[in-house]
């Protein structure tokens, strides 16, 4: 009858519409997937090109990374012998630095301050700093001592230190900094720091701070491809793993570390 024919026609129309709709959705999904694949492939290609650009640049030139003195101090504090040294602090200047050592000996507490000028910094087969001692001071107190007794001890300690320090012989300084690895006298008021023995090279070579530095940079002009590389920590890590230290310089508040890649 007419009602059954109408119902059949409506069922057929519904099936055709459903298949058509599914086909359109399928084609749309296929197109979207293709576009995503193309975008993904393009992005991966761009990242690889950026990595090649950065490697090529660093094979011919160097990049300077800045290591804050705070990180340097944290590393040094991990390596000192705490039996007599309570704290140590390095303040970096332009081709110079100051070392402050807080320590104790029986009831005495002291602060030794030494100012150095960097004469030579070598990063090669030998890795060292050669320094000239420019100035020094020593402050001594008695633990739980009164004002008058501490004044007297400070005065005697300061005068005695100045007298001893004028002589070109092993002095009080040798004892006070003897617990710091890698540091030794190299003549009157001259010092030599073996950077490997002191642990500086291992620390400077630590890749984690280099990765963080590159990821935090906002001036993309210093390294070709950096604007793309920093979108991927993995790619930055790949680049940093190839770094070689080419130079080191002490500057105000930081160390300047020059890195490159072997050609």
pLDDT tens digits, residue range 222-246?
Answer: 999 999 998 899 999 999 999 999 9
In a domain, 146, yes or no: yes
**CB neighbourhood size of 259 (10 A):** 19
- pTM of full prediction above 0.75: no
Q: Which domain holds residue 226?
A: 35-66+203-261
Predicted confidence (pLDDT) at residue 5 exceeds the cutoff of 50: no
**Length of the chain, in residues:** 263
Residues 233 and 142 both lie in one domain: no
Clarify whether residues 223 and 145 are in a common domain. no
The whole-number pLDDT of residue 214 equals: 94
Domain presence at residue 109: yes
In a domain, 142, yes or no: yes
Same-domain status, 175 and 90: yes
pLDDT at 25 over 60: no
**Residue 227 tokens, joined:** 């604007």
CA 100 to the chain's CA centroid: 22
Q: Is 174 found in the same domain as 207? A: no
Residue 213 lies in a domain: yes
Name the band, by pLDDT with cuts 50, 70 and 90, for residue 114: confident
157 & 234 share domain: no
Is the same domain home to 87 and 165?
Answer: yes
DSSP structural state of residue 221 = G
Q: Alpha-carbon Rg of the chain, whole angstroms?
A: 33
Could you tell me if 168 and 88 lie in one domain?
yes
Q: What is the spatial distance between Cα 119 and Cα 184, in angstroms, rounded to a whole number?
A: 15
Using pLDDT thresholds of 50, 70 and 90, give the confidence band for residue 258.
very high
How many domains, in total, are found in the chain? 2
């Amino acid at each position: 009858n007419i009602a059954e024919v109408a119902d059949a026609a409506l069922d057929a129309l519904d099936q055709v519409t459903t298949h058509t709709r599914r086909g359109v959705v399928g084609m749309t999904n296929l197109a979207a997937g293709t576009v995503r694949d193309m975008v993904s492939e393009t992005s991966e290609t761009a990242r690889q090109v950026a990595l090649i650009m950065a490697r090529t640049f660093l094979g011919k030139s160097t990049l300077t990374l800045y290591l804050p003195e705070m990180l340097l101090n944290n590393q040094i504090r991990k390596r000192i012998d705490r039996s007599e040294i309570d704290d140590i602090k390095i303040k970096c200047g332009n081709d110079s630095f100051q070392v402050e050592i807080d320590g104790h000996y029986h009831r005495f507490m002291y602060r030794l301050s030494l100012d150095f000028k960097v004469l030579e910094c070598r990063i090669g087969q030998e890795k060292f700093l050669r320094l000239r001692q420019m100035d020094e001071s020593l402050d001594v107190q008695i633990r739980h001592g009164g004002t008058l007794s501490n004044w007297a001890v400070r005065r005697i300690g300061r005068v005695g230190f100045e007298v001893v320090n004028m002589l070109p012989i092993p002095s009080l300084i040798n004892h006070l900094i003897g617990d710091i690895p890698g540091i030794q006298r190299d003549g009157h008021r001259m010092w030599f720091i073996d950077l490997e023995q002191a642990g500086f090279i291992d620390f400077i070579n630590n890749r984690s701070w280099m990765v963080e530095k590159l990821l935090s940079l906002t001036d993309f002009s210093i390294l070709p491809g950096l604007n793309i590389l920093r979108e991927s920590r993995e790619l930055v890590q790949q680049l940093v793993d190839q770094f070689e230290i080419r130079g080191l310089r002490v500057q105000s508040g930081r160390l300047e570390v020059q890195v490159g890649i072997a050609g």
